[in-house]
Structure 1
Amino acid sequence: MFDHLGFRVRDLAAARKFYDAVAASLGLSTIDNTETSFLLSRSAEALVPFVWIGTGKPDFWRDGHRTAQSPLHLAFTANSKHAVDAFHKAALENGGADNGAPGPRGPAEMQYYGAYVIDPDGNNIEAGFRGSEWPPRRMEAG
């Protein structure tokens, strides 16, 4: 649905450590971009969509832009419940804080299993897995 998004961080090394671990747990990649940023995507070969993460100011951002004071919510798709569990563990071991242990989320019909962590900049980062019946089948008239 999106091509790319980006956000600034205060400490690139702390962010890179956190997102390297999170990406690996979900089968994603972090890719060197510039001295002040990196990309998070499926792989170097399947770059788009991607998330730009950095301390620099891209040319298209306005002067005076600062690292956001409001937290960002970013949810990654996991390919299994095990990947959600691995995401949560990796995040906590690499500078993240727990914001919701792995488990079922939402109404049962959503078949959603997710976990939430807070990254080193205070953003709420999520990984979730939807069961095979998502989206639910529509009821047939009759």
Structure 2
Amino acid sequence: MIDHTGINVSNFENSKEFYTKALAPLGYQLSKEFGDAIAGFGIEGELDFWMIRGEVNTPRIHIAFRAQTREMVQAFHTAALAIGGRDNGAPGLRPQYHSNYYAAFVLDPDGHNIEAVCHIPI
């Protein structure tokens, strides 16, 4: 099991706002900051996603966040687009992965491919 992961971002404040709003429908909160260079996000204080100001990862990173419901996937996609994310795959089933793989994809401000996925059948 992965304990945590992180990405480098070019504009810390812009990305912090993006992730705060985009991940909120999944239950994530900005929980810890170290100055204007590091921010940690998680659910109920369990920080598993970190954002660090620096040279953007090349190639860009793909991170999938687990959602408990398909509605949460849809809300993530809507929130991410509203804050400036770019659509990289509308909410829907991805049966090529498995019959209940329901996901949405957005590109963050630096072009990282961010996904919300629900594996639970309706």
Could you tell me the TM-score, scaled by structure 1's length?
A: 0.78
Among residues 68, 71, 78, which one is paired with 1:79 in the alignment? 68
Structure 1 contact 104–112 (Cα < 8 Å) conserved: yes
Q: Distance in 1 between matches of 2:27 and 2:73?
A: 11
Among residues 26, 49, 52, which one is paired with 1:51 in the alignment? 49
More strand by share: 2
**Equivalent residue pairs, number:** 121
Q: CA RMSD in A?
A: 1.8
Q: Deviations over 1:88-109 (max 9, x none)?
A: 0000011200000000113485
Q: Does 1:40 align with 2:41?
A: yes
> Looking at CA atoms only, which structure, 1 or 2, has the larger radius of gyration?
1
Unaligned runs of 5+ in 1: 57-65, 134-142
Q: Where does structure 1 differ by over 2 angstroms across 4 or more consecutive aligned residues? A: 106-110
Higher relative contact order (CA 8 A, sep 6+): 2
Among residues 70, 79, 82, which one is paired with 1:93 in the alignment? 82
Q: Does 1:2 align with 2:6?
A: no
Aligned partner of 1:21 in structure 2 is: 21
CA-CA distance at 1:67 after TM superposition: 2.3
Q: Percent identical across equivalent pairs?
A: 36
